[in-house]
Amino acid sequence: MEKEITGVMVYYYQVCWRKLWYFYHEIQMEQNNDNVQIGKLLDENAYGRDDKHINIDNIINIDFIRTKKVLHEVKKSKKIEAASILQVKYYLYFLMKRGATGISAQIDYPLLKQSVEVSLSDQDVAEIEKILADISKIVKEENPPVLKKLRICKSCAYYDLCYI
């Protein structure tokens, strides 16, 4: 059965295709990772006054929306910012497809006390559509993509699974 593409999958597309493949096939490793646990605590404790985790059709899960028409995504660090931006753009794309236009977005880094604004251009829309098609192709493969050894592997929760 084909699954819907979630925000996390779009994020993983940018980070690592193997991770994307495993995640799609329900091999989750995140529970073993310290960074993920820190992220979880951050998620539980930051922006406590806001109404958080807006789940739409079980496909995207927006961290929170404060003022009208600005959605927020909370991240721990800027290490893989390109992926975060893509993830948020996908949210905007997803909402646009369902008729919610004129929404802007912001990525918040509470630990860094910084925010980054994100908007969706026509060019982005085309890019996201290409990415979604790509993701469908990657996850339908029989096996996960071949391992590419990268520096970021060391801090990945999937490291042991990939390298064993």
Q: Give the interface with other proteins as residue ranges (CB under 8 A).
A: 25-28, 31-32, 142-144, 159-161, 163-164
**Shortest spacing between CB 164 and other proteins, in angstroms:** 5
Q: Please state the closest distance from residue 20 (CB atom) to other proteins, in A.
A: 14
Smaller CB distance to other proteins: residue 50 or 141?
A: 141
Coil vs helix vs strand at 9 = helix
Judged by phi (left if over 0) then psi (alpha if -120 to 50, else beta), residue 109 lies in: beta
Give the three-state DSSP class for 1. Answer: coil
Which residue, 34 or 57, has its beta carbon nearer to other proteins?
34
Smallest distance, Å, CB 74 to other proteins? 22
Q: Whose Cβ is closer to other proteins: residue 27's or residue 100's?
A: 27
- Tell me whether residue 47 or residue 159 sits nearer to other proteins (CB atom): 159
Residues 6+ apart with CB under 8 A from 48: none
**Buried b / exposed e along 28-65 (16+ C-beta atoms within 10 A):** ebbeeeeeeeebeebbeebbeeeebeeeeeeebebbbb
> Minimum distance from CB of 10 to other proteins (Å)?
21
